[in-house]
Structure 1
């Protein structure tokens, strides 16, 4: 079984490296291997503050498995994986060098696809994930990173592009922008320069945009981000008296409903007990 192979291979690699081992290497490797073999959902809790040497325990079963995989990481972990952990594995055992495909879209022949959270969202929306199991080493940040990936940001330039794309509605668009502008600039100033916006603040603009087509990016995404599961705010630049309109989901996995259904997922997180 994959668990036994991963156990023996990791044990040999750790003996070869000869360093003081993290005490949970073998347990982590077995949990990951079992989850990959079964194609189920597994959450592995790693104690907060643990040394990142645990990566080798994750990579060994990934290298030995034949499952198509998508590894989802933030930028810091991506750099560590590419610059430290993959070379570490290849140096310890060249036959286990793990090939990772990078890019917005991966061919089916690429068994391991390395993705950012933003690329994961796009791959899911476009149906590019196929039957790949997910490996997510930063489960403690998953909601925040997916929320950031799904966030829609409207800049002053986007308002200009909208008016140019819909000149017949320019007067109405200018009026609605001025209405929001007064709302943002009249709000009490906070140190972070954020101004919360209620659904009623955006409702007139949303109603107008539903009548216009085509809309330049990112307006279709902003229009699609509707319902009680989303929240909006303005980020004010007090020096320029300009602001950006932001909108993101409160529960990103609810927006990505079905992402974890019908596929295995291994999530590892530095989570405190009970969290």
Structure 2
């Protein structure tokens, strides 16, 4: 059987390399091989978020190289480059099967028996829009499904920018005056919204009515061929749907705005595609439970499939968690001063550790205030959301910045988290999604806010595990709220302390692979 052959080949390869490898390679490789043989879908959680750690990739590359039938591998461009330049050349020297590999946004041909590497954008576009570029029935591996919801929602989002208004006037020259009037009225209405840190706002009913009126003017006879440009056609089709979020982003300095429309939930869009081929979905930390029930609900993956979750190594992947007691709750006036005091103590105590220190703050005004305060005390070592850092620098960043740049920055020896990355209800898009869950009488915190926070948290701490470094969690809700146990479970394995001294940083002082 293919499982036995894969197990033997991979084990021999790992022994020959003589390097410290991921402990679950053989188990995962057998599971992928079994999925290929049986044509049965599988959902695998590797433990570490896939965007940062690629150590598991040998586990699916060996089976798809040895499998004698065609396979589609869906991965981002950066992952593809790693696979093609590093992983595949090493395996080619060991595995004798000369299976062809090509990178493409469509299937190569009906007789092709090799591997096609494609991007999530290309594959999702084909599956969601029925473009027919990839035939059904070919086993498909999707690497990095931690981001599957984001990929899908981005693909399904319709955008209307300033050039689209100009294109609309060119397409409907007899209605240029009406188009211009609606644009002026929208501009006046949208710029009356009070400023917020996100510079985005849900479209209100008055603004919807302006768009409805424009639609009736431009396309007065429903269910007839539309003369409108495709972005406008898609936007008007989705505007009245109840499960769509419609919002605007504005640029106050230039006086311009953009309109956006995206589905609140993506499960209904993704559900039909899982029946089209056996799919192995591989992610890092998708759900606290091995069956990943909440995650599967969110991506419409309800079919019978194999689910497996690997645990992190309790010795190699442990973090030192500093969790002080007595810090005020984040929504109190006393929190900022207490947090700054802890950050000062943390940075002072960690002077014995050479390397990057990172402070994660989700609140935009607070992030700037903390940056200014600490820069006055620690000098140019402190930088706010910059990638050019000293060897012993202090980076203050938001969650999104850290997620986007952590793969190119040094692994931090110290990571301080001011507050949990629970999406803020003050963000209009978050409020819109919460309103949708409330409308369905569903538990919006358990099904949306908490899973988002745990996923973000696990991604953020992943680099720290390379050095068994220190994570300081300054959000006292972990202590006082019932969901605190789930937060700690997401951070495990960990060694927890509420006492701060220099001995806490002894594990982070040297590379664990050098021991």
TM-score normalised by L of structure 1? 0.89
* Deviation at residue 187 of structure 1 after TM alignment: 1.0
SS of corresponding position for 2:247: strand
Deviation at 1:134, TM superposition (A): 2.2
Identify the residue that residue 11 of structure 1 maps to in structure 2. Answer: 11
Q: 2:122 aligns with which of 104, 112, 119?
A: 119
Question: The residue matched to 2:272 in structure 1 has which SS?
Answer: coil
Structure 2: segments with no counterpart, 5+ residues: 293-515
Distance of 1:200 and 1:138 partners within structure 2:
41
Mapped contact 1:180–1:201 kept (Cα < 8 A): yes
User: Which of structures 1 and 2 has the bigger CA Rg?
Assistant: 2
- Give the equivalent residue in structure 1 for 2:184: 178
1:26 paired residue number: 26
Residue 234 (1) aligns with residue 236 (2): no
Distance change (3 Å), C-alpha of 1:183 and 1:38? farther
Rounded to whole Å, the distance in 1 between the matches of 2:86 and 2:205 is 46
1:89 corresponding residue in structure 2? 91
Q: Which has the higher contact order (CA 8 A, sep 6+)?
A: 1
Q: Secondary structure of 1:10's partner?
A: helix
Question: Are positions 1:254 and 2:256 aligned together?
Answer: no
* 1:214 match: 227
Runs of 4+ in 1 over 4 A off after TM superposition: none
Secondary structure of the residue that 2:178 maps to in structure 1? helix
Give the C-alpha shift of residue 90 in structure 1.
2.2
Q: Counterparts of 2:150 and 2:72 in 1: how far apart (Å)?
A: 19
Deviation per residue, 1:124-143 (Å, 9 max, x gap): 22122212222111121111
Distance in 2 separating the partners of 1:158 and 1:105: 33
**Alpha-carbon offset, residue 182 of structure 1:** 2.3
For residues 253-273 of structure 1, give each alpha carbon's deviation from its aligned partner in whole angstroms, at most 9, with x where no partner exists. Answer: 422441111420101111152
Q: CA deviation at 1:119?
A: 0.9
Q: 2:196 aligns with which of 187, 190, 193?
A: 190
Give the match for residue 37 of structure 1: 37
Q: Is 1:268–2:271 an aligned residue pair?
A: no
More displaced, 38-47 or 198-207?
198-207
Matched residue of 1:52: which SS?
coil
Superposed CA RMSD: 2.4
CA contact (8 A) 1:233 1:245 kept: yes
Residues 38 and 214 of structure 1: is their aligned pair in 2 closer, same or farther, counting only changes over 3 Å? same
CA distance in 1, matches of 2:185, 2:38: 55
Which position in structure 2 is the counterpart of 1:169? 175
Alignment deviations for residues 4-50 of structure 1 (CA, whole Å, 9 cap, x no partner):
12111111211221212210000010111111112122101111258
Contact conserved, 1:36 with 1:67, CA < 8 A, in 2?
no
Secondary structure (helix, strand or coil) at the match of 2:194 reads: coil
Please state how far the C-alpha of 1:75 moved relative to its aligned partner.
3.4
Judge which range, 148-157 or 81-90, deviates more: 81-90
How many residues get paired? Answer: 275
